[in-house]
Amino acid sequence: MFLELFYGLRDEGVPVGTQEWLTLMDALAKGLHGSSLKRFYNLARACLIKHEGYFDAFDRVFARVFEGVEGSLDAVTQEILDWLQDPKNFPQLTEEQLAELERLSGDELMRRFLETLAEQDERHDGGNRWVGTGGRSPYGHGGVHPTGIRVGGPGRSRSAMKVAEERRFEDYRTDVRLDVRQVKVALKRLRQLIRRGPASELDLDETIDETCRNAGEIELVFRAPRRNDVRILLLMDVGGTMTPYYEPVSRLLTALHEERGLRALETYYFHNCIYDHVYTRARLARKDAFPTAQLLRNLEPFWKVIVVGDAAMHPAELLDPHGGIDPRQTTATTGIEWMQRLVEHFDRTVWLNPENPKTWAGTHTIRILERVFPMYPLTVDGLTEAVRLLVGTGKAAAARAA
C-alpha cells in the first residue's frame, strides 16, 4: 500500500525521490505517525511534499490509496443521520421560480430602486418588494434576483447588476517581495531584441555586398540597432470579487516593476470590465480617469497587453449599453466592444485569470471573454504560456500567425 502511494505520486507528476521516501520510512519506524490515519497523512505530506503547489495532487493520491481504511459509519445513530439529511437552511428558489422573476434593464432597475427607497420606512427581510435581505426583491443583500442591485455587504453569488455602496479599493502594491522566484524567471522571457528606430548602426555584411555590386565603389548601409524594446500595458481588475487575489496580483505587479528588461511599463485599473475610461489609481475616482480611446491613440500596436481579472460579472456589464456596475459612471458603448477594440488595436494581448480554470466554464462572461482574449490562469505555468504568446513563441501565437 505504501508503494502505491509512492508510485501514485510519481504518476501525478509530484517530484518524490528516494531521499524523501527513506525519510518517511525512517519516521514510520520511529512511530511518529502514531495510530491515526490523520497523523500519518500529515507526516507523509511533510516528508514527501516540498512545495505547496503539489498539495492537491497528494490529497487525490492519498484518498485513492487509503480509501476505506478508517472503516464505515455504522456507529453513527440513525437519528443523527436523519438530522444531517434535513438541514434548516434558507430555501433556495427553483428554476421555475427564478424564471418568474421580472428581468429589468439597468435604467428601469435604478428608477424603481430610488422610488422604493423613497417609500420605504422600515427594515424588511425575506420579501419580494422592499429593500431588504434574503428575499426575491431586486434591491438589497443576500437574496436572489437575476437583475438586482446589491445594497451593502459583500458579494456572494456574483449576480448583482448594480452595486450601491462607497467604493474603497486599494492600489496593488509594487513593493511586495516575491517568494516565488519562478514568476520573475517567467517574465524574463519578455526580453526580446528588436530592430526598431533610426538606422544608425553600420550593417557590415550589407555594406560589403553593396560595394561589390557597385564594382568596388564603397556603399555604406545602415540599419536600426538591436535593442530590447518590449513595452507592456498592464490593465488590472480591482475590488469586488478580485479582493481575495490582492496578493498574487501585487506580486505580478512587483515583478514587472523590477524587470529591468522592459523598455516601458504602463499600468491602469478598472472594475469588472473596461469602458470609456481606465484609472491610474484603484479608487477609480473621476480625477484618476484616463480615456480609453486616448490610451489606444497614445500606444502603438507593438505594445504588449496583459489584462488581469477574474472576468466574472453580470452579463449586462459586458453586453449592455450603460452596463457598468457603478450607476454614476456608465456609458453607451458596451464593455465587450471596448474589449474587442483592445484586441484589434494591439498585436498581442493576453488575459490572466486568478480563478481556478476548472470553474471558468460555469461563468457566462468568462466563456465570452475567452473567445476574445487568449486566457491563462494566474499561475507560474499560466504566466509562462502567456509570456510565450506575447513574444511570439507560444501555440496561440503560431495559430494567429497562420
Which stretches of 70-180 are DSSP H helices? 78-84, 95-100, 106-119
> Above 70 in pLDDT, residue 22?
yes
Stronger pLDDT, 58 or 103, i.e. the higher one: 58
pTM here is 0.59
CATH topology for 181-192+230-401 is Rossmann fold (3.40.50)
CB 363 within 8 A of CB 311: yes
pLDDT band at 304 (very low <50, low <70, confident <90, very high): very high
Contact 137, 145 (CB under 8 A): yes
pLDDT digits (tens, 9 = 90+) for 107-146: 666 677 667 666 766 555 666 666 656 666 665 555 566 6
Q: How confident is the model at residue 76 (pLDDT cuts 50, 70, 90)?
A: very low
pLDDT reported for residue 388 = 87
Q: What is the 3-state secondary structure (H, E, C) of 295-351?
A: HHHHCCCCCEEEEECCCCCCHHHHHCCCCCCCCCCCCCCCHHHHHHHHHHHCCEEEE
What are the angstrom distances between the C-alpha of 261 and each of 107, 182, 233, 264, 370?
Answer: 47, 16, 15, 9, 29
Q: Which of 73, 94, 93 is nearest to 84 (CA)?
A: 73
> Which pLDDT does position 99 carry in this prediction?
59
Ramachandran category for residue 226: left, alpha or beta (phi over 0 → left; psi -120 to 50 → alpha): beta
Condensed to tens digits (0 to 9), the pLDDT of residues 24-40 reads 888 888 888 877 777 88
Q: Is 146 helix (H, G, I), strand (E, B) or coil?
A: coil
Check whether 294 has a pLDDT greater than 90.
yes
pLDDT tens-digit readout, 226-282: 666 788 999 999 988 899 899 888 888 888 888 777 788 999 999 999 999 999 998
